[in-house]
Structure 1
Amino acid sequence: MAQNAIGRLFRGQSSNTLRQSIGSVSQKRSYASKNTIPSFSPSSSPELDQALNRMREELFIPYGLGSQQQNLIFRQRYHARLEEEPVTVSVGEDDEPFLLRPMDHQTRPTKRDIFDVVTLMKTTKDWQNLIPYLSGLRLANRSVKSPRMQWLVRRAAQSDALGIILEAAKQSGLTRLRLNDMAVVRRIFFELHRKAQNGDFQGADVEKAFTLAQQFVYQMTAPEHVEHSVELDPKRKPFVIGTLLELSAARALSAHEGNDVGGWVRSYALRLLGSWREGNFRGDIKEWRSIDQMLQENVPIYNGMKLALEVNGIAKEKSIAPGLKNRINELGALIANQKKAAPEEVKAQPSVGLEQANLLHQN
């Protein structure tokens, strides 16, 4: 039935061309049926389930089909006959039947629609759909640029779903989330800092944040995430190493009676001092947005050095303690000056960086 209908749609072609067209469509009936079209698990919200299903049926499936099937869907000259004699194809891992219907490229979900779906993700269960969702966007050739990836990380952190961001990085071939993007990595490590901060740098929160931070850095060594330029390599930057120092020191103080179990504090302290010239410590920047970004990077570094000196043995180690104390004084003065430079409207309603600096002062 499907082959006859499709054959009539291509009437007027030569017999050889017709046979090729029919054969091509027949071969591609299962084009999207194995490990291509993503499926979603039930979420905590019927509204989110409905939104995900809409994206799947109106975006992911149509653009995941073969070119001949897409022609049937999107080319207006085939629409009438497709409505008269419907064609069904199998999609997904379970060979789910999908009825082809006339569609218009211009009426597919917009960028705003795409990211509105993410705003409906509230729980960790909801965020488990992120990887198939990003996979579907890749399949539909809908790019997620760096600012939106940063936004996704921030939203995931609000739902305690940074572990799913890590899994998305592990499946970067499907998700396009890569850890050689400096801005994305900066956001990830800042959110790890905030996770530990929200738990007062104690207990399970700091333990989980430290474990995730180490796993993210390990993942950065995978070929698909490696940044070959030393100057652009996120894992060499003080904001990454300083956050690892902060989390490892807080973990030592919280869970190990101040002992540097595993030697992580010492190791990260040495690496931080060795990477200092790669940091964002300029005092001549006047534009507040850039200053605010500096504060987001540098507050965890400052806090990490302070905590490290409280860990048993670190304050007495001559290869570490003097360097940490000098950098604490230097960075503390920079942060204090940047706080004073904040515009009055920002002081009244603190930006993220200023809020972090204020919390540091309170502690």
Structure 2
Amino acid sequence: MGGRALSRAVRHGDCAFHNITGRSLSRKFASSAICQRQGAVPSFTKTSTPELDEIFDTFRKKVFLPVHLSKAQRDLVFKTKYKRTVAAEPVMAGVAGEDFQLEHIDKTVDVPNTRKGIFKALHLMQDKRDWDNLPRFLTGLHQAGRNPAKFQQFMMVTKAAESGRLDVILECARRVSETGFDLSNPLLINKIVAKIRNAAMASDWDVKETKRALAWVEMVSAMLEDKRHAGGRVISHNDDPRTSPELIGILLELSAIRAARHLGGKDEDGKVAEYASRLLSLPLNLEPTAKSPDNLEDTYIANRWLRSVVPIVHGMKVAETVLDSSSEMAEKLKQKKIELEGFISQEREYVANSTFKREFRGIELCDKLLAERAA
């Protein structure tokens, strides 16, 4: 088949390359509009390490590009019988205005492992600017049908928080249709929200940090209404992440701290009252489970319980200083706070008296937030 016939065959998705001759193949052809993935092949900005650049470049050439090619072009790239053909003379493909020289790809050797690639990339993202590439990376993986496992999403949140780039996680979630980063897992949502509020707490509730944390958690709450995340008809409050006590409790905590510390003790925008009302309307089944004496697994469970519930109670405690003390809402909030403080005291004692020599975050939160005056 001559060069012109080859070009015509590729344009129309014809896979009959059986009679390719030695004539020139160095002509440019466009991917079939029917076969190719719409849009450009995700590209990356230069990172802080050559190793990370290499990972992104390998995924771009070996994983992302083939998704955008027509079937005929993919045959040319992947089928062994065309290996010498593409190696002998350059074959170009145009995708969204960008030209690519096609190369043979051995699926058993050249195509990178998704999980290993994600793991290596996350550990190499040391510079804050490196994280700008995460949405692009996830977009390419999503287009290729290689969405990260849930545990890798958790890892992304942890690493992004360590680098001060939780904004990138929110951007990935906002662009869920492109990145596939959905907020359907309640544990993932709680982790994101906790990391956001912990950053504000680490700043000693700085004005800017607290305001931003509240805005970001409100953004997460709003995104959950999207059906691509957790939106849709409410079946049960216990199963709906939009009505999670951890989420609403942190919204109350951040809004109350902002009002108490930065707005002269006044609930100027009504958010403290709003979130207190929402929290009290939920079935707050926050009583800890029974535990065996000095059991390692139970100790970890108790510690996690403290980490979840202490911020909620702290929010209630601060909200009391902002709301009208004579109001019915303030009284209900106080009664619920007293009930939960009793559980917290029990759980703290259980964790503190365990024989396991570890630093437990739950105890640290208790001592920092509840053993001192509100806010």
TM-score band (shorter)? 0.7 to 0.9
The DSSP-based 3-state class of the residue aligned with 1:316 is: coil
Aligned CA distance change for structure 1 residues 281 and 40 (closer, same or farther; 3 Å): farther
Match for residue 282 of structure 2?
275
**In the alignment, structure 1 residue 98 sits paired with structure 2 residue 101:** yes
Match for residue 309 of structure 2?
298
> Any gaps of 5 or more consecutive residues in structure 2?
21-28, 293-297
The DSSP-based 3-state class of the residue aligned with 2:94 is: strand
Q: What amino acid is aligned across from residue 35 of structure 1 in structure 2?
A: G
Q: What amino acid is aligned across from residue 301 of structure 1 in structure 2?
A: I
Deviates more, 1:314-323 or 1:200-209: 314-323
CA–CA separation in structure 2 for the residues paired with 1:145 and 1:346? 35
**In the alignment, structure 1 residue 43 sits paired with structure 2 residue 52:** no
Aligned CA distance change for structure 1 residues 359 and 74 (closer, same or farther; 3 Å): farther
Q: Residues 329-360 of structure 1, C-alpha deviation per residue, up to 9 Å, x if partnerless? A: 22222222222323878853224444434433
Match for residue 259 of structure 1?
266
Deviates more, 1:201-210 or 1:118-127: 118-127
How many Å apart are 1:188 and its aligned residue?
1.1
Aligned CA distance change for structure 1 residues 2 and 356 (closer, same or farther; 3 Å): farther
Match for residue 348 of structure 2?
339
Decide which of 150, 161, 167 is 2:165's aligned counterpart: 161
CA–CA separation in structure 2 for the residues paired with 1:30 and 1:120? 37
Match for residue 136 of structure 1?
140
Q: Summarize the alignment of residues 1-363 of structure 1 with structure 2, pairs less than 5 Å apart.
A: 1=3, 3-4=5-6, 10-11=17-18, 27-28=31-32, 35-91=39-95, 93-110=96-113, 111-225=115-229, 226-228=231-233, 229-230=235-236, 231-277=238-284, 279-284=285-290, 287-311=298-322, 314-342=323-351, 348-361=357-370, 363=372
How many Å apart are 1:211 and its aligned residue?
0.8
CA–CA separation in structure 1 for the residues paired with 2:123 and 2:355? 26
The DSSP-based 3-state class of the residue aligned with 2:93 is: strand
The root-mean-square deviation of aligned C-alpha atoms, in Å, is 2.9
Aligned CA distance change for structure 1 residues 53 and 330 (closer, same or farther; 3 Å): same
Q: Residues 265-291 of structure 1, C-alpha deviation per residue, up to 9 Å, x if partnerless? A: 0111111111143x4433325533433
Deviates more, 1:40-49 or 1:137-146: 40-49
CA–CA separation in structure 2 for the residues paired with 1:28 and 1:101? 19
Q: Residues 179-200 of structure 1, C-alpha deviation per residue, up to 9 Å, x if partnerless? A: 2321111111111220111111
Match for residue 295 of structure 2?
none
Q: Residues 287-320 of structure 1, C-alpha deviation per residue, up to 9 Å, x if partnerless? A: 3343333223212101111111122xx1514322
Aligned CA distance change for structure 1 residues 215 and 289 (closer, same or farther; 3 Å): same
Aligned CA distance change for structure 1 residues 32 and 357 (closer, same or farther; 3 Å): farther
Verify the 8 A CA contact 1:180 1:233 in the aligned structure 2. Answer: no
The DSSP-based 3-state class of the residue aligned with 2:45 is: coil
Give TM-score, length-normalised by structure 1: 0.85
Verify the 8 A CA contact 1:123 1:159 in the aligned structure 2. Answer: yes
Aligned CA distance change for structure 1 residues 266 and 98 (closer, same or farther; 3 Å): same
Q: Residues 90-133 of structure 1, C-alpha deviation per residue, up to 9 Å, x if partnerless? A: 23x44132332232245422212222102222344222211111
How many Å apart are 1:325 and its aligned residue?
1.8
Q: Residues 250-274 of structure 1, C-alpha deviation per residue, up to 9 Å, x if partnerless? A: 1112221111111100111111111
How many Å apart are 1:70 and its aligned residue?
2.4
Aligned CA distance change for structure 1 residues 274 and 335 (closer, same or farther; 3 Å): same
Q: What amino acid is aligned across from residue 204 of structure 1 in structure 2?
A: K
Q: Percent identity?
A: 26
CA–CA separation in structure 2 for the residues paired with 1:247 and 1:124? 26
Q: Residues 44-85 of structure 1, C-alpha deviation per residue, up to 9 Å, x if partnerless? A: 444433332222123222344333322222222332333234
Aligned CA distance change for structure 1 residues 89 and 251 (closer, same or farther; 3 Å): same
Verify the 8 A CA contact 1:89 1:100 in the aligned structure 2. Answer: no
Verify the 8 A CA contact 1:193 1:300 in the aligned structure 2. Answer: no
Q: What amino acid is aligned across from residue 272 of structure 2 in structure 1?
A: V
CA–CA separation in structure 2 for the residues paired with 1:3 and 1:356? 71
Q: Residues 188-223 of structure 1, C-alpha deviation per residue, up to 9 Å, x if partnerless? A: 111122011111123111111001111111122223
Show structure 1 runs of 4+ deviating over 6 A.
5-9, 343-346
Match for residue 19 of structure 1?
none
Q: What amino acid is aligned across from residue 214 of structure 1 in structure 2?
A: E
How many Å apart are 1:139 and its aligned residue?
1.8
How many Å apart are 1:362 and its aligned residue?
5.4
The DSSP-based 3-state class of the residue aligned with 1:349 is: coil
Verify the 8 A CA contact 2:35 2:71 in the aligned structure 1. Answer: no
CA–CA separation in structure 1 for the residues paired with 2:185 and 2:212? 23
Aligned CA distance change for structure 1 residues 96 and 296 (closer, same or farther; 3 Å): farther
Aligned CA distance change for structure 1 residues 70 and 339 (closer, same or farther; 3 Å): farther
